[in-house]
Structure 1
Amino acid sequence: MEPRKIEIMDTTLRDGEQTSGVSFSVPEKLTIAKLLLEELKVDRIEIASARVSDGEMQAVKKITEWAFQNHFLDKVEVLTFVDEGKSIDWMLSTGAKVQNLLTKGSLNHLTHQLKKTPEQHFSDIQKTIELASKNDIKTNVYLEDWSNGMRNSKEYVFQYLNFLATQPIERILLPDTLGILTPSETYQFIKEVREKFPTIHLDFHGHNDYDLGVANVMEAVKAGVNGLHLTVNGMGERAGNAPIASTIAVINDFLKGVKITVKENALHKVSKLVENFSGFRIPVNKPIVGANVFTQTAGIHADGDNKNNLYFNDLMPERFGRKRKYALGKTSGKANIQKNLQDLGISLNNEELKKVTQRIIELGDKKEVVSQEDLPYIISDVLDSDAIERKVSVENYVLGHAKGLKPSTTLLLKVEGVLYEAHAQGDGQFDAFMNALKKLYKTHSKKSLPNLIDYAVRIPPGSNSDALCETIITWKSETKEFITRGLDSDQTVSAIKATEKMLNII
């Protein structure tokens, strides 16, 4: 039997942008749209709400121009309203060809917000659909608050669906607008709709207020929906929408008899890009895309992975363009350390490994973060040997910062016993330090410095202004991306310590 196709509609650029504090620029929206359709291979994207702003209009124009040239225009959708044709005029000015018409899916919303009868609402909707058809615009229809409608005014919902079945529309979109559904309700309600309307295309749009978004999506597919609405990183109002990464993994691993076109190996790339553009940070433990989800912490797990991959499951990181890591800390055993040493190409005998393991456990007890890049320094310190040289050291520096003057740095750097000095200014003290460093490397070295792509500062919760702060810098060279950390009571000094580690790594 041929697998049932499930359409994936990504609404990051519309519903996802309703995340508090998020606003994508026009170039960012265009870049995300391209990635979603060309690399992630979603079936459709919802990119904007009509009549919101001039910036929204410019973004839609750019996306529709690109989509038309690349044969994606029928996959680009815009949220519209029953507003006597104003949304249709807005769409015509942008070049968009598919509207997702927002209508009332519960009697409660209809009565108290619109203050209309069902017949009046249906008449207004019919006029909007007719106007769209005359202008060669296809229509999908949202039943806003449908989940509450099924709970409290089911007779109205089916009265409305009977009306929509007579209209020239493409899809009916069933949202759990307030994220109230349980998985059993999701299955029951969609099953009822599917049985009464076996040939109509149904989409389910799940929110995550009770953290049931993915579970509800799973039940919606079992109940017979044809499409799902998802967002990158689970972005969206309040607790957000059902996240695309987890949903795709669940469908591929647990739902037989269905097929999707989304490419798993692009999920992490798109997730990181959206994180950077939105400023909406991904929790480290977020399934599939979180920083820690493919990291084994306990030493017994690393040992088991060495013995026939005992702690692997079907969520292999390679599926998503990622790699398994082994954390270093107080629960690390020798197996964790060995996994990291293998990556660095370093080998130790049993006695040396025992000493290094003990030192990492001690650091973990002090709540210090140990990274793979820290290992050579720990080894050098613990074993008191020159096996791993510290070839580069920041011998001295003067940081200047005065009101009305640009911050400046004078830097003295020792590289394999030779001292180099430089002076530079910058937009801040650390920027001045980096400019001095770049000046030295440009003049005296054939090596190129990696790009700084992320900079984060942390202090322990509840600390005072004199607390130690940890600066975590992510660097990207031509061959790899890596992280270094520095610890000091002065933020700029901790950043300089992190930079010194980077210099020794390269």
Structure 2
Amino acid sequence: MEKRRIEIMDTTLRDGEQTSGVSFTASEKLTLAKLLLEELRVDRIEVASARVSEGEFDSVRQITAWAAEKGLLPRVEVLTFVDGGASLNWMEQAGAQVQNLLTKGSLNHLKYQLKKTPEKHFSDIREVIAKAGEQGVRTNIYLEDWSNGMRNSPEYVYEFLDFLDTQPIDRIMLPDTLGVLTPGETREFLEDIIGRYPDGHIDFHGHNDYDLSVANVMEAVSAGVHGLHLTVNGMGERAGNAPLASVVAVLNDFMPEVAIGVSETSLFKVSKLVSAFTGIGIPANKPIVGDNVFTQTAGIHADGDNKKNLYFNDLMPERFGRKRKYALGKTSGKANIQKNLQELGLTLNDEELRKVTARIIELGDKKEKVTREDLPYIISDVLGSGSHQQRVFIRSYVLTHAKGLQPSTTVSLEIEGENYEAHAQGDGQFDAFMNALRKVYRSLKRPLPTLVDYAVRIPPGSNSDALCETVITWRQDDREFTTRGLDSDQTVSAIKATEKMLNIG
């Protein structure tokens, strides 16, 4: 049986731009238009509202010039208004050929916003459609607030649709403008309309105010709609529109009777780019494109994945150009760590793995985030501590830093079984710590190596805030050597590097 083809219209560049605080530049709009049509392969894009601004005009003109060269101009659409043809003139100058004419889909909007009768509204719409035909512009019709129209004034909606059935238009686009429909209503209303107008092309445009947009899209498709309006990352006014990535996955996995042309592997890339352009982050738990959605955190899940992929579902990350990750933290078990070690090409014996697991759990209890890239440094820090016989232990210390007072440190050391304590001030907390050490070593008439270089950094390759690496170079007589400390606190990591020096020097 041949699958029913569903058109996907992306309206990120128009309706998505109505997200509070979002405004794309002309170059950003052109970049996204190219990606949406050529790489993501959506069927149509709605790129702007007519007569909004000079910048909007420039962006549309750039997009239409590119689309005309590529033979894609019929797939570029602009929102227009019933304004006696002013929007059409704007479109003509911008080079656009398809208008999405905004009309009133509820009697409430018509009465109180436009203050018109249905007859006057239909007459004005007829004039705009006729003028569009004269200018070679194709017309789609939005019935704004259609969902409330179906609830409160269905007679008006059907009168309107009867009128549109006589007009030379391509598509009727039915928006749940305020995101108020339940899935049951969505299916009921659309089945009725599609049954009455079987030759029409019906689009559904869902909003997400009750977090029902994806469910409503599923019901719209089951009811027989021909097209869907979606946005990248679910951008849009208030709670946004139906999200492109989630809808694509749902249609592909749960609705085998329909087919779409969108490329799943490009969804994540486009999502990240839209996030970068808008400055609006993607929630970590957002389906398909969130940072955490292909990350197993609990060790039992990683163990289950090792045993016949027990915690996998059909949403395999490779479908979307992504990879599965295994988080490192206080709920990590050995299986999580082993998964990450495999990715890095590292192996540990059982005792080494136990020590590293304990250290990661310790960091997790401090609410620190640990990434795979931190693992080599944790391994080095934990396992390297046993590479020499420790004679000097920094048992405790107090670091103080207060406005108007010089930083100070009190330190307690154990050297070859004997305890020593000293207090000192310095130009900073670590300088005060070193001055206190020098007091102890002077009392023992033992020399301390000289600090030559001190560097603090996030471990190379890491993208987390869990660990701070301090690398200190020391000189003793004619010899230079380096020690390294690792901790979530900068000063503590320096003290750990110093303790290693005390046992080497």
| Distance in 1 of aligned mates of 2:204 and 2:86 | 27
Question: CA separation in 2, counterparts of 1:379 and 1:357?
Answer: 10
1:421 positional shift: 11
Q: State whether structure 2 residue 175 is matched by structure 1 residue 183.
A: no
After superposition, where does 1:366-385 map in structure 2 within 5 Å? Answer: 366-384=366-384
- Give yes or no for contact 1:16–1:237 (8 Å, CA) kept in 2: yes
Residue identity opposite 1:286 in structure 2: K
Deviation at 1:377, TM superposition (A): 1.6
- What is the 5 A alignment of 1:399-414? none
Equivalent pair of 1:144/1:174 in contact (CA under 8 Å): yes
The match for 1:286 is 286
Quick one: distance in 2 between partners of 1:170 and 1:279? 36
What letter matches 1:50 in structure 2?
A: A
Provide, for residues 443-494 of structure 1, a one-character-per-residue CA deviation record: whole Å limited to 9, x for no partner. Answer: xxxxxx99x9xx99x8xxxxxxxxxx999xxxxxxxxxxxxx995589xx99
Instruction: After superposition, give the CA deviation of every residue in 1:415-462 in whole Å (9 maximum; x if it has no partner).
Output: xxxx8999xxxxxxx9xx99xxxxxxxxxxxxxx99x9xx99x8xxxx
| Secondary structure of the structure 2 residue equivalent to 1:167 | coil
TM-score by length of 1: 0.78
Could you tell me which residue of structure 2 aligns to residue 220 of structure 1? 220
Mapped contact 2:284–2:290 kept (Cα < 8 A): yes
* Secondary structure in structure 1 of the residue aligned to 2:337: helix
Deviation, structure 1 residue 184: 0.6
What is the rounded CA distance, in whole Å, between the counterparts of 1:470 and 1:357 in structure 2? Answer: 15
- Residue 353 of structure 1 deviates from its aligned partner by 0.5
Are the equivalent residues in 2 in contact too, given 1:380–1:386 (CA < 8 A)? no
Return the alpha-carbon distance in structure 2 between the equivalents of residues 270 and 211 of structure 1.
22
- String of CA shifts for 1:217-272, please: whole Å, max 9, x gaps: 01100001000000000000000000000000000000121100000000001101
Partner Cα separation in structure 1 for residue 141 and residue 488 of structure 2: 55
Shift of 1:386: 8.8
Alpha-carbon distance between aligned partners in 2 of 1:363 and 1:204, rounded to the nearest angstrom: 49
3-state secondary structure, aligned to 1:80 = strand
Question: Counterpart of 2:144 in structure 1: which amino acid?
Answer: E
Matched, 1:110 2:131: no
| 1:352 correspondence with 2:352 | yes
Match of 1:143 in 2: 143
State the match for 2:273 in structure 1: 273
CA contact (8 A) 2:374 2:467 kept: no
- Which residue identity is paired with 1:168? P
- Tell me if structure 2 keeps the 8 A contact 1:99–1:137: yes
Aligned equivalents of 1:488, 1:150: Cα separation in 2: 60
Aligned-partner Cα distance in 2 for 1:28–1:40: 16
Question: Is the partner of 1:168 in helix, strand or coil?
Answer: coil
For 1:138 and 1:486, the matched residues in 2 are separated by 64
CA–CA separation in structure 2 for the residues paired with 1:366 and 1:372: 18
**Which secondary structure does the structure 2 equivalent of 1:78 belong to?**
strand
Aligned amino acid, residue 310 of structure 1: L
User: Which residue identity does 2:303 align to in structure 1?
Assistant: D
Q: 1:3-23 CA deviation, whole Å, 9 max, x = no partner?
A: 110000000000001100111
Mapped to 1, the partners of 2:25 and 2:271 lie a distance apart of 17
Check whether the contact 2:103–2:143 (CA below 8 A) recurs between aligned residues: yes
CA contact (8 A) 2:79 2:99 kept: yes
d(CA) in 2 for partners of 1:74 and 1:331? 53
Give me the whole-angstrom Cα distance separating, in 1, the residues matched to 2:487 and 2:288. 28
Distance 1:486 1:103 in 2: 62
Which residue is 1:441 aligned to? none
SS in 2 for 1:179: coil
* CA distance in 2: counterparts of 1:76 and 1:277, whole angstroms: 21
8 Å contact 2:329–2:361 — kept in the other structure?
A: yes
Q: Structure 2: which amino acid aligns with 1:147?
A: S
470 and 384 in structure 1: CA distance in 2 versus 1, 3 angstrom threshold: closer
Measure the CA separation in 2 of the matches of 1:104 and 1:125.
10
CA distance in 2, matches of 1:386, 1:345: 23
Query: 1:150-299 residue pairs with structure 2 within 5 A?
Result: 150-299=150-299
The structural deviation recorded for 1:378 is 1.4
User: Match of 1:25?
Assistant: 25
Q: Show CA shifts across 1:85-127 (max 9, x none).
A: 1000000000000000000000000000000100000000000
Instruction: Note if contact 2:12-2:46 (Cα within 8 Å) is conserved in structure 1.
Output: yes
* Aligned pairs (5 A) from 1:426-465: none
Residue 315 (1) aligns with residue 315 (2): yes
Alpha-carbon distance between aligned partners in 2 of 1:200 and 1:317, rounded to the nearest angstrom: 38
Q: Which amino acid aligns with 2:237?
A: E
Question: In the aligned structure 2, how far is the partner of 1:60 from the partner of 1:204?
Answer: 24
Q: Deviations over 1:152-188 (max 9, x none)?
A: 0000000000000000000000000000011111111
| Counterpart for residue 500 of structure 2 | none
Q: 1:337 Cα deviation (Å)?
A: 0.3
- Taking the aligned partners of 1:32 and 1:488, their CA distance within structure 2 comes to 42
Partner of 1:477: none
Could you tell me how far 1:384 is from its partner in structure 2? 2.5
Q: Which runs of 5+ in 1 are unaligned?
A: 388-418, 423-429, 435-448, 459-468, 472-484, 495-506
- Which residue number corresponds to residue 482 of structure 1? none
- Structure with the greater alpha carbon radius of gyration: 2
**Does 1:67 pair with 2:67?**
yes
- Partner Cα distance (2:51, 2:346) in 1: 60
Taking the TM superposition and a 5 Å limit, the aligned residue runs for 1:5-154 are 5-154=5-154
**Secondary structure of the corresponding residue to residue 273 of structure 2:** helix
Tell me whether 1:332 sits opposite 2:355 in the alignment.
no
Structure 1 distance, partners of 2:487, 2:62, is 43
Secondary structure in structure 2 of the residue aligned to 1:199: coil
1:302-330 Cα distance to aligned partner (Å, 9 max, x none): 00100111100000000000000000011
Change (3 A) 1:212 1:85: same
How many residues matched? 412
Percent sequence identity over matched residues?
70
Q: How big is the shift at 1:374?
A: 1.2
Shift of 1:280: 1.2
Quick one: distance in 1 between partners of 2:311 and 2:17? 37
Tell me the residue number matched to 2:391.
none
CA distance in 2, matches of 1:240, 1:386: 55
Work out the CA distance in 2 between the residues paired with 1:41 and 1:118.
39
